[in-house]
């Protein structure tokens, strides 16, 4: 029996990142993006660019541009590595503090400092990561423009796909090179077994501890999950899902794919959601539950080991048309709504704490407003986010309380209490928004301000989709 899922998708020439990593030993990085249902796997190798610069330097008028390309790439890589070193330094500092306090902290410290065994580092959506991504995608504008639009999954004319088929779609391989004019250019590579193997390895997968495997959660193969809609909500292609137990295949669920570098947070989130369900808290607050673990079908191509106990993600309760609460921290949002959400934030976290559940990573982004204006608490993977919780309070009720105080303050006084990580004067400044984002948020707020009749019509329309 096939399950149904929903995910995000690139529109027009938007490139949604499927994978982005940097080799730990060499200046080589690879970027896999999804554009109009087409996958592009792009590599940039510093050694190749250096050799091509040396060759091109003999041609008059070309050496300057070529050297500039190479230097720009090296600058971007250096910025990434410096950022990673700073992040590792902070993680080590937190791990040492934990090791000094409790035995559990010592184990966590060891886990945080242990190398994952991978030969590459995943590049996150930081400023330096976004700069490198944009630089690598710049020469592809004409190629992306020339792609014929493909009907989005779930729309009329689109082929039905399983989750396994979606992740196994055709891929075009390119490498960045120096063109005859000394500028950054692209070269398409022929398909090969080696390149195809690279793509197989990009499917997100983690091995779960035995204790987590024994949780009362049904297992599904990716081939059992049908993708019915792709949601466009970020630069990364994160899926939402439709699905239920095998007795209700049409129920909508969110498919949350795993991050191979975040095994412990995934384990924590699954355990927390089962604990919340066991304590019946989902009848007191709006919170997603886990409804299925999704495994990739087959064996690991490189080792031949079975993937039976590995998951690529899990199905959880879907929030209809979710909007991060962060986007509602604006004085243009009706004050009564913000006041009501502030009370719900406090009440929701109190319900968790009264039941002995620590939320972790308390911040406005981890509250979602659904299409009806209801507030949902999400993300139980733990940790903390700078500006919301002090590092030494992560995964504690005190840390939750600190985050809640800031969320409530920002809802009540968004102009003076909204945290902006890019501001020069810290967490007391209002977040700066571009005109496009303001317009988008205004439209979203107008939707939330519709009367009950309009909401009823929207709900009926949604049910037919």
| CATH class of the domain whose range is 321-419 | mainly alpha
Q: How sure is the predictor about 157, in pLDDT bands with cuts at 50, 70 and 90?
A: low
Same fold, 204-318 and 321-419: no
Q: Average pLDDT in the 95-115 region?
A: 46
Q: Are 271 and 212 in contact (CB under 8 A)?
A: yes
Judge whether residue 3 has pLDDT over 60.
no
The set of residues, in sequence order, having a beta carbon less than 8 Å from that of 19 and lying 6+ positions away, is 30, 31, 32, 122, 202
Q: Average pLDDT in the 170-185 region?
A: 90
Residue among 34, 70, 40 nearest 52 (CA): 70
Give me the half-sphere count of Cα atoms (radius 13 Å) on the Cβ side of residue 344: 21
What is the Cα gyration radius of the chain? 23
pLDDT confidence of residue 230? 61
Secondary structure class of 5 (helix, strand, coil): strand
CB atoms within 10 A of CB 121: 18
Average pLDDT, the chain: 76
pLDDT confidence of residue 193? 80
Strands 38-45 and 120-122: unpaired
Q: Which two tokens stand for residue 196?
A: 């195809």
| Cα–Cα distance for residue pair 134/323, rounded to 1 Å | 26
Q: Average pLDDT in the 346-366 region?
A: 97
CA 287 to chain centroid, in Å, comes to: 19
Judge whether residue 217 has pLDDT over 80.
yes
Secondary structure class of 279 (helix, strand, coil): coil
204-318: CATH topology is Phosphorylase Kinase; domain 1 (3.30.200)
**Domain coordinates of the chain in residue numbers?**
11-52+63-96+128-148+158-202, 204-318, 321-419
CB atoms within 10 A of CB 5: 33
pLDDT confidence of residue 392? 92
Judge whether residue 152 has pLDDT over 70.
no
């Amino acid at each position: 029996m096939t399950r149904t899922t929903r995910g995000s998708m690139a529109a027009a020439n938007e490139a949604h990142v499927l994978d982005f990593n940097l080799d730990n030993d060499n200046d080589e990085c690879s970027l896999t993006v999804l554009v109009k249902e087409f996958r592009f796997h792009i590599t940039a190798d510093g050694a190749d660019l250096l050799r091509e610069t040396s060759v091109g330097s003999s041609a008059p008028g070309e050496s300057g541009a070529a050297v500039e390309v190479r230097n720009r790439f090296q600058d971007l890589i250096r910025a990434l590595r410096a950022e990673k070193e700073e992040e590792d330094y902070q993680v080590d500092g937190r791990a040492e503090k934990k090791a000094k306090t409790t035995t559990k902290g010592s184990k966590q410290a060891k886990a945080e400092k242990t190398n994952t065994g991978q030969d590459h580092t995943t590049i996150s959506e930081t400023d330096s990561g976004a700069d490198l991504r944009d630089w690598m995608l710049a020469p592809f504008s004409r190629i992306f423009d020339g792609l014929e639009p493909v009907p989005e999954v779930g729309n009329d004319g689109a082929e039905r796909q399983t989750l396994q088929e979606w992740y196994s779609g055709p891929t075009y391989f390119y490498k960045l090179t120096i063109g005859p004019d000394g500028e950054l250019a692209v070269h398409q590579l022929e398909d090969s077994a080696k390149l195809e193997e690279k793509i197989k390895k990009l499917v997100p997968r983690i091995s779960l501890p035995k204790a987590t495997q024994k949780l009362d959660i049904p297992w599904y193969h990716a081939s059992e999950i049908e993708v019915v809609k792709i949601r466009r909500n970020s630069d990364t292609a994160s899926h939402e899902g439709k699905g239920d137990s095998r007795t209700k295949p049409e129920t909508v669920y969110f498919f949350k794919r795993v991050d191979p570098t975040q095994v412990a947070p995934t384990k924590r989130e699954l355990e927390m959601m089962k604990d919340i369900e066991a304590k019946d808290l989902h009848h007191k607050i709006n919170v997603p539950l886990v409804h299925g673990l999704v495994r990739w079908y087959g064996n690991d191509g490189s080792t031949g080991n079975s993937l039976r106990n590995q998951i690529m993600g899990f199905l959880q309760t879907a929030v209809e048309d979710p909007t991060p609460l962060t986007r509602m921290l604006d004085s243009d949002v009706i004050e009564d709504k913000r006041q009501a959400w502030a009370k719900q934030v406090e009440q929701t976290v109190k319900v968790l704490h009264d039941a002995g559940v620590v939320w972790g990573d308390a911040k406005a982004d981890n509250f979602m407003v659904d299409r009806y204006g209801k507030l949902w608490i999400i993300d139980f993977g733990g940790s903390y986010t700078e500006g919301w919780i002090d590092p030494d309070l992560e995964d504690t009720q005190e840390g939750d309380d600190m985050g809640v105080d800031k969320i409530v303050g920002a809802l009540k006084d968004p102009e003076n209490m909204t945290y902006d990580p890019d501001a020069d004067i810290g967490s007391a400044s209002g977040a700066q928004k571009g005109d496009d984002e303001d317009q988008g948020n205004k439209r979203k707020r107008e939707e939330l301000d519709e009367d009950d009749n309009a909401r009823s019509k929207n709900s009926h329309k949604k049910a037919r989709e």
